[in-house]
């Protein structure tokens, strides 16, 4: 007698049921979607005209760049795709992960959330511009010393964010941990560092060493 596997060809399975239900649902939705895509013969198609590229001057890591960009291009895409600085990473492109963090006039920003044209006249610093020649920025050195990374994808954003964060703390910016007047950098607790760095997600979960690196760099930058 042939052996029938419980999921054999004769037996309807939950998976097959779901597959056929999905097919039926999409077939039913098709006419409506199709109709929506077909404009009435008399109505002209509403296609917005293309916006031509325009000259954009960006100041990045101490250099001037004369670019030609469509106004819709984000700073992140301009950096990565046009200028060729790929240190800032595109994690989410929606302001949720911090991998694209750069400094604009010393303030940390998400490069995916700003248009390149909006940064004309500002000084952009990316991870490529933090070191002083061969000498690493103290924050970079602290990340290396503390081994504060695993895959490294979030690291340029973490480092730029930490540099901007210390400047904010020095300037007295409040956090939810420490109400104003905010702590000076030398007294940032680990809870402060975690809170102030909470816009930078690390999918590897290297937070313990990241916090240690920021703590070390805070001390090193105070002494220097
Ligand atoms: S890529 Fe900009 S915040 Fe994620
Ligand atoms: S080190 Fe991998 S995402 Fe942070």
Query: Is residue 56 situated within a structural domain?
Result: yes
Query: Is residue 173 situated within a structural domain?
Result: yes
Domain of residue 219 covers 130-224
Atom nearest to 112 CA in ligand 1: 2
Q: With a 6 A CB cut-off, is 98 part of the ligand 1 pocket?
A: yes
pLDDT, tens only, 127-146:
999 999 999 999 999 999 99
Question: Which residues' Cβ are closer than 6 Å to ligand 2?
Answer: 149-155, 202-204, 206
Which of helix, strand or coil describes residue 100?
Answer: coil
Whole-angstrom distance, CA of residue 135 vs CA of residue 1: 78
Sites in the chain below the pLDDT cut of 50: 1-10, 17, 23-36
Whole-angstrom distance, CA of residue 72 vs CA of residue 209: 37
Query: Is residue 3 situated within a structural domain?
Result: no
Pairs from 100-103 (Cβ < 8 Å, separation ≥ 24): 100/76, 100/157, 101/156, 101/157, 101/158, 101/160, 101/161, 101/164, 101/199, 101/200, 102/75, 102/126, 102/127, 102/160, 103/160, 103/163, 103/164
Cis? peptide before 175, omega within 30° of 0: no
Q: Does residue 116 sit in the same domain as residue 173?
A: no
Query: Is residue 169 situated within a structural domain?
Result: yes
Whole-angstrom distance, CA of residue 62 vs CA of residue 220: 24
**From the CA of 208, which ligand is nearest?**
2
Q: Where does a domain end: 98, 126, 154?
A: 126
For residue 141, the domain's CATH number is 1.10.150.120
Residue 132 has what DSSP assignment?
B
User: How many H-runs (helices) and E-runs (strands) does the chain carry?
Assistant: 6, 5
For residue 89, the domain's CATH number is 3.10.20.30
Within 70-137, residue ranges assigned H as helices are 75-77
Q: Does residue 62 sit in the same domain as residue 142?
A: no
Query: Is residue 155 situated within a structural domain?
Result: yes
Q: Does residue 64 sit in the same domain as residue 142?
A: no
Q: What is the pLDDT of residue 196?
A: 95
Q: Does residue 147 sit in the same domain as residue 207?
A: yes
How many structural domains are present in the chain?
A: 2
Q: Where does a domain end: 91, 126, 161?
A: 126
Distance, C-alpha 32 to centroid of its chain: 37
Query: Is residue 41 situated within a structural domain?
Result: no
This prediction has a pTM of: 0.77
Q: Where does a domain end: 96, 126, 156?
A: 126
Q: What is the pLDDT of residue 80?
A: 98
**C-alpha 198 to ligand 2 mean position (Å):** 14
Choose which residue among 74, 79, 88, 96 to substitute to test ligand 1 binding: the one with the highest number of ligand atoms within 8 A of its C-beta.
Answer: 96
Q: Does residue 151 sit in the same domain as residue 216?
A: yes
Q: Does residue 108 sit in the same domain as residue 63?
A: yes
């Amino acid at each position: 007698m042939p052996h029938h596997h419980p999921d054999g060809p004769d037996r309807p399975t939950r998976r097959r049921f779901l597959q056929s239900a999905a097919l039926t649902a999409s077939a039913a939705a098709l006419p409506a979607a199709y109709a929506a895509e077909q404009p009435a013969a008399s109505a002209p198609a509403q296609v917005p005209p293309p916006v031509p590229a325009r000259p954009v001057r960006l100041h990045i890591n101490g250099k001037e760049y004369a670019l030609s960009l469509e106004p819709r291009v984000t700073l992140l895409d301009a950096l990565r795709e046009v200028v060729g600085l790929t240190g800032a990473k595109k994690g989410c492109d929606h302001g949720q992960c911090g991998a694209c963090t750069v400094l604009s006039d010393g303030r940390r920003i998400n490069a995916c959330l700003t248009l390149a044209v909006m940064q004309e006249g500002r000084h952009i610093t990316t991870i490529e511009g933090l070191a002083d020649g061969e000498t690493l920025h103290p924050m970079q050195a602290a990340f290396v010393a503390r081994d504060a990374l695993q895959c490294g994808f979030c690291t340029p954003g973490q480092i730029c964010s930490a540099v901007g964060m210390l400047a904010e703390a020095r300037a007295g910016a409040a956090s939810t941990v420490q109400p104003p007047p905010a702590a000076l950098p030398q007294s940032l607790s680990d809870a402060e560092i975690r809170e102030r760095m909470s816009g930078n997600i690390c999918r590897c979960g290297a937070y313990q060493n990241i916090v240690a690196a920021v703590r070390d760099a805070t001390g090193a930058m105070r002494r220097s």
